[in-house]
Structure 1
Amino acid sequence: MTLRVQILKDKFNSSLGLPFKDLLPPSVIEQALDELKIRYKERLFDPIVTLWAFLSQVIEADKSCHNAVSKIIAYLAKFEVELPSTDTSAYCQARLRLPETLLQKLFRDTGQSLESKVTTEYLWCGRNVKVIDGSTVSMPDTIENQKAYPQPSSQTPGCGFPIAKLGVIFSLATGAAIALCIDVMNTHDIKLARNLYQFLNPLDILLGDRAFCAYADLISIKNINCDALFRKHQARKTTMQKGKIIGSSDKLVTWDKPKKCPQGLTLSEFSALPLTLTVREIYYYIVVPGFRTERVSLITTLLDTTTYSTLEIVGLYSKRWDVELDLRHLKTTLGMDVLRCKTPSMVRKEIYVYLLAYNLLRSLMWSAGTTYCTPPLRLSLQGTRHHLNNFIPELLAAHSTKRLQIYRTLLKVIAHKVVPDRPARSEPRVRKRRPKAYPLMTKPRHELRKQLQSA
């Protein structure tokens, strides 16, 4: 057993471990196990082997457990050791034994570790910017998942899928995911955000859309020595007659405390809010061919006009779209949109492993970009994933000296895959390829089977 485990650890360390050696070597996993006081038996699928297999599973296109077990058998095939069964039950049980707290810690540590590599040239006005947004993921239609993350109430029971709501904070400098909150689908984005403020560092700037622009939240962010830049909420009427004008389309405005306690706040929290709040309001117009001209109003706590000019703030808010691309990478590129696990605890673990894999890919892009003088955020995450999967067999087959040369070649080819800069690009949101002409499912599957049998 010990020999097989060591062989697998060496294989994973030379394939996935080498590209991610700065963020997730076996020593980091072992340290996390010790800090969390996690004890485990000597098995083929110990936590380190299981985690490496889980990571390789979500990075590849074929995400089945059978493919993961087949890869492990292939790793052991040329050695004179007993091969594990092709049955996936041992691996699935090992994933079930993986503590959720371990995956949470590794995900957050990798994000923070990548953040620590950010130098001044990647900061905005000398400060680190974090971007926040919410999204949803679906999962298999099981009784356990439906209880924890119910499907939309508008769907007929048996005709929909359980959906979880995610709140995520990303780093604008590295693209890495920093913090995550998971809740039921009908949870408002601002409730998720209030669970994420604790992961901000002093002097961070939080960037978000209009859903997060609330009186209490701006104060909460200021209280932790951070600043915010949000789009103005549509419920607040825009008027330029009030406020102190400090520049073209730029003014200081005093907001009054709400008369009623907002949802999500306790009476004591509401009572502790100051009576007024001074914010900065900036407005500008977006002109896109084919669309009506839109006026955008921004609200920020960055009141210093000398350090943070109007154009700098408008330019910063235009980068908020990066969070949409980050979520698309997670859900579409890596395939987190539709999860595969059948219990709520495994669903959460699967989400954390996806985010961990995403951060590791971002670390590879960061290494490639900084090594070959290319902006890391301009590199293709899909291209990085493809190159990594294609280089893994070569990394496994090479000896230690050659392996480092192959690794440097991997970084070089990743740096060559630069995404074109296409500012103000707009495309119609239509589909050219027609779907199959099948009707939507409006009754549970067992009722439809009965109809077929009685027909």
Structure 2
Amino acid sequence: MKRIVQRHAHLEGARDVFVVEALAKELNPEWVRDVLRECDRESIRERLLPATLVVWLVILLGLFRRESYFNLLEKVDGALWTFQHWPKGPPTTRALTKARDRLGVEPMKKLHERAAREWVKRHSGLLFQGRRVYACDGSTYKTPDTDKNARAFGRPGASRGRAAYPQMRAVTLTDVGTRIRVAERHGPYGTGEIHLARRLLPEIPPGSLVLFDRNFLAYDLLWDLHRSGSDFVVRVKEGVRPRLVRRIGPGDAIVEIDIPRQPYRKQRPDMPRTWRLRMITYRPEGSSETFRIFTTLLDLEVPSNELAQLYHNRWEEESATDELKTHLCDGSTVNRAVVFRSKTPERVEQEWYGLLLAQNAVHATMDTAAATHQKSPRRLSFTSALERVREAVYEMSRLPTHLLFRPYRAMLKKILRATVPLRPNRKNPRCVRIKMSKYPLKENRHVA
């Protein structure tokens, strides 16, 4: 029977290069070949795991986070490409580990950057006063507890002993309209979010509007962003006391802030002593908390209530982080599971880009589906789209090229059926259902 299927695959034209057909419209296979060529990682001799296949497998490791190496290779086995190139069955998990090490981090990093640039051009985002809106925020991601990961990433403090897992810190720039992670910078746990955000600035397109949480109220960061041709909306910390220059309306004013000599002007003599910004003060409906936001949008024709509503689109960045941790990685809000499976820092970084590419590809597919019916992609369910993409990856890999259109269109239609409401005034208090465990701390080698 297998010979018949193999012969059929040959007659139908088996793929010369491995491709994940369900994602190929959004993640162009030519981009994969380009970055491999640029990084000098193209496979010269014929292998069971050529470099192009390994790139796709790293993305699939993110898309199918719950699957082990073994199960993922078994899932790939049976695709038209593997019938031709794996006559004795899939390679071992050890072979996949070695292939990942040959590939390295750089091709995945460059592929993420290339794909993000193309997706921003191709997919329409949220515009405000002619500016494309992005949100910037940081988060931490647990890695497996190995000595190498601990040395590379470090651990947070803990009230009992040491923290269970090393953690990587990352700051991401997310396109608000599509939730595509446009750019990122990451480092050890001890690296501050402001430092990572400064490194992210060159990736922000001029003419953008960036939404920040109050943790990013660093004047040099915001000054450099504004000088690059972009604007921002940032929440103001409680201790900041600006001087009133001119009142525009209720809760709306032009204010002046002093930029301290330390730590800013001493290192940055190009920065001014004072800075005039617009400050909007408001209380969201149903909330007892008063918000203050600074913005460089000084145009008085822009209503303050629209700016206040705009700021809460920052939740799209929070939602994108939740999608990656909770849904893509099958984590839980209770046990806050380990995001990565890799046991060395280089593989963790490689896996990080695979996760971002997988998440972005799902969002790009959602936007393509939404565009067919003039819907907002934010009205579509990510969890449903993720499952539909996973199903299509398996189904389409076993079909000849001329039969791929129908299951692809079916996938888009199914994605369109799962809609969610817009949540403009979303709130999420920082509290948990389970505070802590009553059990003793588990050591690396625990004896009962």
Q: In 2, Cα distance between the equivalents of 1:311 and 1:401?
A: 52
Match of 2:241 among 237, 242, 245: 237
Q: Distance in 2 between matches of 1:37 and 1:428?
A: 48
Q: Which amino acid aligns with 2:284?
A: I
Question: What are the within-5 Å matches in structure 2 for residues 275-286 of structure 1?
Answer: 275-286=273-284
The 1:11–1:377 alpha-carbon spacing in structure 2 relative to 1, beyond 3 Å, is farther
Size of the alignment, in residue pairs? Answer: 429
The one-character-per-residue Cα deviations of 1:148-173 (angstroms, maximum 9, x if unpaired) are 11112336667611011111110112
Contact 1:131 1:170 in 2 (8 A): yes
How far 1:282 sits from its partner (Å)? 0.6
* Distance verdict in 2 for CA 1:31–1:404, change over 3 Å: same
Structure 1 SS opposite 2:316: helix
Q: Secondary structure at the match of 2:128?
A: coil
Is residue 59 of structure 1 aligned with residue 66 of structure 2?
no
Counterpart in the other structure of 1:419: 420
2:426 equivalent to 1:439? no
**Counterpart in 1 of 2:3?**
none
Give the match for residue 328 of structure 1: 322
What is the TM-score with the length of structure 1 in the denominator?
0.86
Q: Aligned Cα RMSD in Å?
A: 2.8
Task: Judge conservation of contact 1:115–1:174 (CA < 8 Å) in 2.
Answer: no
Please tell me whether the aligned partners of residues 77 and 83 of structure 1 are also in contact (alpha carbons under 8 angstroms): no
Task: Find the residue that maps to 1:270 and give its secondary structure.
Answer: coil
**Could you list the per-position Cα deviations for residues 403-427 of structure 1 after superposition, in whole angstroms to 9, with x for gaps in the alignment?**
2022111111111111123444567
Partner amino acid for 1:253? V
Kept in 2, the 8 Å contact 1:70–1:86? The answer is: no
Q: Please report how far the alpha carbon of residue 103 of structure 1 lies from its aligned counterpart in structure 2 after TM superposition.
A: 0.7
Q: Give, in angstroms, the shift of residue 26 of structure 1.
A: 2.2
Matched, 1:109 2:114: yes
Distance in structure 2 (CA, Å) of the matches to 1:430 and 1:212: 22
Q: Is the 8 A contact 2:245 2:255 kept in 1?
A: yes
Indicate the residue corresponding to 1:38 in structure 2. 41
- Partner Cα distance (1:41, 1:122) in 2: 44
TM-superposed deviation, 1:35? 2.6
* Contact 1:134-1:189 at 8 Å conserved across structures: yes
1:201-223 per-residue CA deviation (whole Å, 9 max, x = no partner) reads 11111111101112222211111
Local SS of the residue matching 1:260: helix
1:319-345 CA distances to partner (integer Å, 9 max, x unpaired)?
Answer: 111111010001111118521101111
Corresponding residue of 2:272: 274
- Residue 139 of structure 2 corresponds to which residue in structure 1? 135
Q: Which moved more, 1:333-342 or 1:95-104?
A: 333-342
* CA deviation after TM superposition for structure 1 residue 33, in Å: 1.9
- How far apart are residue 303 of structure 1 and its match? 0.7
Quote the Cα distance in structure 1 between the aligned partners of 2:247 and 2:116: 40
Structure-to-structure mapping, 1:118-197, within 5 angstroms: 118-119=123-124, 122-154=126-158, 160-197=164-201
Q: Is the 8 A contact 1:279 1:299 kept in 2?
A: yes
Q: Is the 8 A contact 2:141 2:339 kept in 1?
A: yes
Identity level (%)? 26
Residue of structure 2 equivalent to 1:225: 229
Judge which range, 390-399 or 315-324, deviates more.
390-399
C-alpha deviation, 1:399, in angstroms: 3.6
Per mean C-alpha deviation after superposition, the further-off stretch among 365-374 and 150-159 is: 150-159
The DSSP-based 3-state class of the residue aligned with 1:28 is: helix
CA distance in structure 2 between the partners assigned to 1:27 and 1:427 by the alignment? 42
Residue 283 of structure 2 aligns with an amino acid whose one-letter code is Y
Residue 257 of structure 1 and its aligned partner are, at CA, apart by 2.3
SS in 1 for 2:24: coil
Taking the TM superposition and a 5 Å limit, the aligned residue runs for 1:340-379 are 340-379=341-380
1:92 paired residue number: 97
Q: Please, what TM-score do these two structures have when normalized by structure 2?
A: 0.88
Structure 1: where are the runs of 5+ without partners? none
Aligned counterparts of 1:33 and 1:203: Cα–Cα separation in 2: 32
Q: Give 1:305 deviation, angstroms.
A: 1.4
Identify the residue that residue 390 of structure 1 maps to in structure 2: 391
Query: Which of these residues, 289, 300, 314, is aligned with residue 294 of structure 1?
Result: 289
